Structure 1
């Protein structure tokens, strides 16, 4: 498998990466609702790392949004493109994620990232970054709230609580996807609204805490990493 190298002009240090985030953040589109839930296609993207070998594997898994059946999948393997710095994780993986998306033969529809969008210290997590670079509608779904807090939410599937920044801005929502299980954390990336994003995640979680898009992409990228580093 071809190894994806980072672009020649890719940021090499923290200050440059933050400057890129600040510039690209101005291009985020927040006034579109996004595609309606349970329609068209939804694509999950995820990555797996082997830091000792400096390798990252990315997977893109396209699901029918109605049946949640897999209709296409693609992988790419690349070099880790940036050091580990909290808040700058997108720079480690985006070149490889974009290569996986580019390998698909159809429009990905809505893209669901295992990560953050607006729920980020500079309001520009992976979902926002990927959305701006690709032009696709993208939402982020994370397993923890990163640096934000929320009130207690109810115990039932569909219960929500706002993720709040220090200034009171709602940057995302804690969303209970199954009765009595820990919530996931949904935030807008690009060309979607928060209400719609939460509705999509509920449609993608008929049985488990995490969206089917994330579960399928996680398995595929782990398998791709094992094959690439064997």
Structure 2
């Protein structure tokens, strides 16, 4: 999935310049609703508070819209030394190599990417969903659990399905969307080759029994479980070597 030509910047200035250049290639038009095969992407990283240190893990869940079910799960792991440093606003340089490696393991190419993170709701209009979408020339949508950039146009109602525009000045960059009554909202923004209205409609069509769209919920659960397993296995190897 074009993993070989992904550009890793050497410093922050290069990263910023790359984001600005790639953002100019973003297309905010397109309707992903006819797509059958979606790939949901999520990653799990150890934190300094984690009891079990270990690698970062990314998961790609191949979801069949016709069946309403996951067909395949691919997972990859990388150590901290292999990844771009964690810097707010530059997450795509850290996570994209993980996601590209996971996508390469799937037996079926995706028609749409649904990514845990931002699309154009980003200071330089290039969150992880936009970055991957442009890199792979695929329709992509970001669904983030927290707000990185922008302001809601108005107060979001508590009712399930409610949404308000997310603004950067006078420009709309996404939606604040409450998937279920009373739960914390999600931030939905197009990444590439998807319109603003279409991105929200598509995410709404994937509503499940929890806060996250069902494909992303599965990816989130799998990423966390596989990271914990990898950390436990590594801890066991270390103990074995000590003995």
TM-score normalised over the length of structure 1? 0.89
Task: Map 1:106-185 onto structure 2 (within 5 A).
Answer: 106-150=108-152, 151-165=154-168, 167-185=169-187
Task: Map 1:33-112 onto structure 2 (within 5 A).
Answer: 33-36=30-33, 39-50=35-46, 55-80=55-80, 81-112=83-114
1:128 CA drift (Å):
0.3
Question: d(CA) in 1 for partners of 2:61 and 2:166?
Answer: 28
- Report the counterpart of residue 217 of structure 1 in structure 2: 219
- Report the counterpart of residue 12 of structure 1 in structure 2: 10
Equivalent pairs counted in the alignment come to 223
Contact 2:32–2:202 (CA under 8 A) maintained in structure 1: no
Contact 1:43–1:60 (CA under 8 A) maintained in structure 2: yes
Contact 1:62–1:108 (CA under 8 A) maintained in structure 2: yes
- Superposition RMSD in Å: 2.1
1:162-206: per-residue Cα shift (whole Å, max 9, x none)?
Answer: 1011x2110000112112222211000011112111112112113
More helix by share: 2
Question: d(CA) in 1 for partners of 2:203 and 2:7?
Answer: 35
- Secondary structure in 2 aligned to 1:28? coil
- Report the counterpart of residue 24 of structure 2 in structure 1: 26
Question: Greater CA deviation, 107-116 or 59-68?
Answer: 59-68
Contact 1:175–1:185 (CA under 8 A) maintained in structure 2: yes
Question: Greater CA deviation, 137-146 or 147-156?
Answer: 147-156
Contact 1:115–1:141 (CA under 8 A) maintained in structure 2: yes
Unpaired segments ≥5 residues, structure 2:
234-243
Contact 1:43–1:61 (CA under 8 A) maintained in structure 2: yes
TM-score normalised over the length of structure 2? 0.84
1:66 CA drift (Å):
4.3
Question: d(CA) in 1 for partners of 2:194 and 2:25?
Answer: 14
1:140-176: per-residue Cα shift (whole Å, max 9, x none)?
Answer: 01112212211112222221111011x2110000112
1:65 CA drift (Å):
1.9
Question: d(CA) in 2 for partners of 1:29 and 1:149?
Answer: 22
Contact 1:12–1:82 (CA under 8 A) maintained in structure 2: no
1:6 CA drift (Å):
9.4
1:85-124: per-residue Cα shift (whole Å, max 9, x none)?
Answer: 1100111111111010111111212111110011000011
Unpaired segments ≥5 residues, structure 1:
none
